[in-house]
Amino acid sequence: MSTKTNADELRDEVRRRYAEAARAVTEASSCGCGSGSCCESETDGRWGEALYDDDQRGELPEAAVLASLGCGNPLAVAELREGETILDLGSGGGIDVILSARRVGETGIAYGLDMTEEMLALARKNAAEAGIRNAVFLKGMIEEIPLPADSVDVVISNCVVNLSVDKPSVLSEIGRVLKPGGRIGISDVVAEDRLSPEERAERGSHVGCIAGALSRREYEVGLEAAGFEGVDITFTHEVAEGMHAAIVKAVKTTQPELVGLPVIRAAESAGCC
């Protein structure tokens, strides 16, 4: 008898889809997501490589560009500085890690965290091809980041937090690994506050980056509870009715006292998938 929970099944489905995406790129497929896309279609201007400018794409191996499955460009707002330590959650084919590593320079370091072996292998290959020596790719889950507390200056992510089945843990872990005063620049899909979890589920699948999205208010409350201040969530473009790609920015408070995490009830608790 299977002991897998719905959360385990969703995580396995996400892992399977992104493994397919990595294999498709490795096999020189013309579509990075293969059949059965990850974050829907990355060819319509709302997802993937189209969200990076020509100069950024020119810095990258072709396979890194093809493997881009995100909903935004977190580097556009992350304001990376020489010598900083950066962590990219759900680093995929390595596009944001490679670009980050260039910006923090040889005195900085760019970590990429992914749970999919195929994506990690692709990212390491892409970084080597790009001549990047200050990138480190780690295997793990974003709910359990394998880095020490207070070790990172900036956390970025591109359309991955919405895929998590335990978002309070993700936000708490981001707060744990960031140094006091550290900051986030996250691209994610965020729902309008008027939409219920059931209504979000009607607009797309969890693996397609839609159904599991938090609302703007849920994101704000979750980040504040995890020890962040100055939370700013800016919608950039609509990806489904009432669902938006967004830039999420916040700074880890320098105060040591953190309040307890609330229960964030997003679409994964609504039996959407």
255 located within any domain? yes
Residues β-bridged to residue 152: 178
15 located within any domain? yes
Using CA atoms, how far apart are residues 197 and 218, in angstroms rounded to an integer?
Answer: 11
What per-residue confidence (pLDDT) applies to 14?
67
Tokens of 224: 């504040």
Furthest C-alpha separation in the chain: 53
What per-residue confidence (pLDDT) applies to 191?
94
Sign, CA torsion 62/103/224/180: positive
What per-residue confidence (pLDDT) applies to 73?
78
What per-residue confidence (pLDDT) applies to 8?
72
49 located within any domain? yes
Range of the domain at 73: 6-270
Specify the amino acid at residue 66.
Answer: L
1 located within any domain? no
Q: How many folded domains does the chain comprise?
A: 1
- Tens of pLDDT along the chain (273 residues) come to 445 667 677 666 766 776 566 566 666 544 434 333 345 444 444 445 555 545 555 555 555 445 455 567 788 878 899 999 999 999 988 889 999 999 999 999 999 999 989 989 999 999 999 999 999 999 999 999 999 999 999 999 998 999 898 999 999 999 999 999 999 999 999 999 999 988 888 876 544 556 688 999 999 999 999 999 999 999 998 988 999 999 999 999 986 554 444 445 444 443 333
Nearest of 145, 90, 160, 143 to residue 120 by alpha carbon? 90
CATH assignment of the domain containing 54: 3.40.50.150
262 located within any domain? yes
What per-residue confidence (pLDDT) applies to 212?
81
Sign, CA torsion 263/267/269/270: positive
Tokens 């680093």 belong to residue: 91
What per-residue confidence (pLDDT) applies to 3?
54
Tokens of 171: 């936000």
154 located within any domain? yes
What per-residue confidence (pLDDT) applies to 263?
45
* C-beta of residue 247 within 8 angstroms of C-beta of residue 234: yes
Using CA atoms, how far apart are residues 117 and 223, in angstroms rounded to an integer?
Answer: 29
Which residue blocks in the chain are alpha helix, DSSP H?
6-26, 54-58, 62-66, 75-78, 95-104, 117-129, 167-177, 197-202, 216-225
Q: What global pTM score does this model have?
A: 0.78
Nearest of 47, 156, 48, 41 to residue 93 by alpha carbon? 48
Tokens of 97: 């890690």
The SS3 call for residue 232 is strand
What per-residue confidence (pLDDT) applies to 21?
64
Sign, CA torsion 175/180/181/182: negative
